[in-house]
A and B are shown apart, each in its own frame.
Chain A
């Protein structure tokens, strides 16, 4: 139990010394993606081999090591999920990609016992091979503040976090600064909410701070529901203490005693790691009564979501924590006044809290020096879709889309052409070629009808049908609409029906205009953010790809040949041998003919499933 500043400093010195004594560290990525790719097996293999070979080694920091130990650790997400499982050897900084259990022995012999790099396991691009993580273009162009520890430390060890100067910001705040001074630094930094809205964090905190209520709450929104986004999951899994430190600092500023972290049930690993982190912090006296011997009393509970996207909305989230149906309510009063249990509540997203320790430690001016004036700092993005390097990235705000997609992301898959990127999930919009050089920040995106959202970047190539993408998002929002307000409940349903009939080839003239009218009405009248932004993906695809909508409606053609119902399948009589295989495979009985003479498809009966296309051995069944 730490009872004073000296206690913490002594402990930090101890942990630092222990960490320094580890001459070689093997960091195995244990993020969700790498675990699914078998990284835990690598951990077991390394442990087994080390034991067999009698190499002196420590598994964690708890045991006092002797001699020249080797640390084998499960680290948080390195971000380069595409290339997983990833293994990093410190301090040489070798990064091995797509490692298999049979590679472990070679790695041990070469890089741990010896001093050489296993070339064949390094990242290759073209003719170049990259031994070190830092030289890989994917990493080189990133600026990591929130994710600085991801992949570098053991996520389940508070000791490593402390050794890496963790909780130094808390120490500085508690012993050298008043709550007002901490708030002032956050204000100077101009940190804006990373959950999507971009509301200034300091303003939110000061609104809660100035209220006289007895109970105040600090709530962290870890309900990262946007499909295609996983930044918050990675922070919670890889560096949970950073976020806890941010929340404790918020409690110090606002005078709150209780905090909640609301996490999606779909993130079991994050729930587990946060639970471990909270327990460790309590044991050391960093959470609980009289934190580090001061008057600050603050504790944190985890509240697991139960699968409702709308719970990412402030008032729905607080209702859900209180054990009610997660439905938004009319605002004002806002969450800062009537939040959780009707008390003043600070509600910020995971990434926002994770930014705070560095701001308090380095000062608001330092933070402001990164990125543009009105949206300073960095932003983490989940880069996914038809792109070469999928994964988790963090770049300075104001980085252009071109840099992200081509330099960090490595360009499009299979040499396809870039078409659009969907930013901000179901509440965002799409950006096209004309936006490739647009610096990404809150205000610039708003201007072009998109939003940063939580930071999902889904890259789409020329083979993607934008009408189908719009339908996909609408079906997601429709499914997740809580049903409380009519515009969202009924409006999204009507919009979905129209989109469904367009992709089915039954679009009618005037459908696009009707979609626009509905979108406008829903945006103007829906109760919460989910409803207000529900139509954005449709509006932005209409704006940039109106011709695709028109091709579906007027010509009954899907230009990218994605929409099944609009497929035109026919049999080339010159190639057909009359074997009848297609007819036997047809589920609708739409193909008829005489054996040994060309068969024909009755397009009225055809359900366009394509079973005949894959069944034909002579490539006689063709698609227009």
Chain B
């Protein structure tokens, strides 16, 4: 586990924020951009470099929903469950994704680390409801049938995200 962390990379992030403990949220966001999650080893490292306790960093990482302590898939699919998407039946899309990929509310990532399926409160693209994002790319007017096409397209590389 420890070997995951590339100290040079982490130092670069810390330098960008001038080792400011007040920028811890931005530091963790940048870290997550590199690893797609927060590896365990970043906690003791940042703690020693920023002079704040590991518990404090951990408390922030667990408070904000965007941080993940577990590795995520290559394609992170976020199904919007905002009000507008909800009334246009977004849950059926989520169910379809989960059943296609063998996932559940507690198991969010496939074993081959290819797909992660999550929900998001609102993407602000309500005009296209129901929507989902694949690695932050918004796809609108989804339907359970289009989900199958999307997954196949991603696997075969015909849809880029």
Residues of A whose CB lies within 8 Å of any CB of B are 32-33, 35-37, 81-82, 84, 224-230, 233, 265-268, 303-309, 320, 322-327, 382, 384-386, 390-392, 422, 425, 456, 458, 460, 464, 469, 472-473, 476, 480, 482
Contacts and interface: CB of A to CB of B under 8 A. Distances in A.
B87 A464 contact: yes
A472 B64 contact: no
B41 to A, nearest CB: 20
Given A322-B22, A385-B84, A33 B125 contact: yes
A148 to B, nearest CB: 20
A389 B140 CA distance: 16
B60 interface: yes
B23 A81 contact: no
A324 B127 contact: no
A472 B87 CA distance: 10
Contacts of B140: 33, 36-37
B45 to A, nearest CB: 17
Contacts of A327: 63
A456 B83 contact: yes
Contact of B83 (A82, A228, A303, A304): A228
B59 interface: yes
A37 B128 CA distance: 9
Contact of A472 (B22, B67, B83): B83
Interface in B1-46: 21-26, 28-29
A306 B128 contact: no
A32 B139 CA distance: 10
B87 A323 contact: no
A268 B127 contact: no
B131 interface: yes
A14 B121 CA distance: 45
Contact of A382 (B25, B126, B136, B139): B126
B120 A266 contact: yes
Chain B interface size, under 10 / 10 to 19 / 20 to 34 / 35 or more? 35 or more
A318 B22 CA distance: 12
A265 B64 CA distance: 11
Contacts of A303: 25-26
Contacts of A81: 125-128
B86 interface: yes
Contacts of A228: 82-84, 122, 126
A561 B83 CA distance: 19
Contacts of B86: 227, 472
A267 B124 contact: yes
A32 B126 CA distance: 10
B64 A230 contact: no
A327 B62 CA distance: 13
B123 interface: yes
Contacts of A386: 87-88
Contacts of B76: none
B98 to A, nearest CB: 14
A266 B29 CA distance: 13
Interface string B78-104: 000111111110000000000000000
Contacts of B87: 385-386, 458, 460, 464, 469
Q: Which A-B residue pairs are the 3 nearest by beta carbons?
A: A81-B127, A227-B82, A306-B64
Contact of B127 (A84, A307, A309): A84
A225 B81 CA distance: 12
Given A37-B140, A325-B60, A309 B121 contact: yes
A492 to B, nearest CB: 15
B127 A266 contact: no
Contacts of A469: 87
A30 to B, nearest CB: 12
Nearest to A237: B124
Contacts of B121: 225, 227, 266, 309, 476, 480
10 contacts: A32-B123, A33-B125, A81-B128, A227-B81, A304-B29, A306-B29, A306-B65, A308-B63, A458-B87, A460-B87
A269 B127 CA distance: 16
B67 A306 contact: yes
B64 A308 contact: yes
B35 to A, nearest CB: 16
Contacts of B65: 306-308
A35 B123 CA distance: 13
**Taking each of B25, B85, B122, B127, which has the highest tally of chain A beta carbons within 10 Å of its own beta carbon?**
B127
Contacts of A306: 25, 28-29, 64-67
B84 A458 contact: yes
Given A227-B122, A323-B60, 13 more contacts: A32-B125, A35-B138, A36-B128, A36-B139, A37-B140, A266-B122, A266-B124, A307-B65, A327-B63, A382-B126, A385-B87, A386-B88, A473-B83
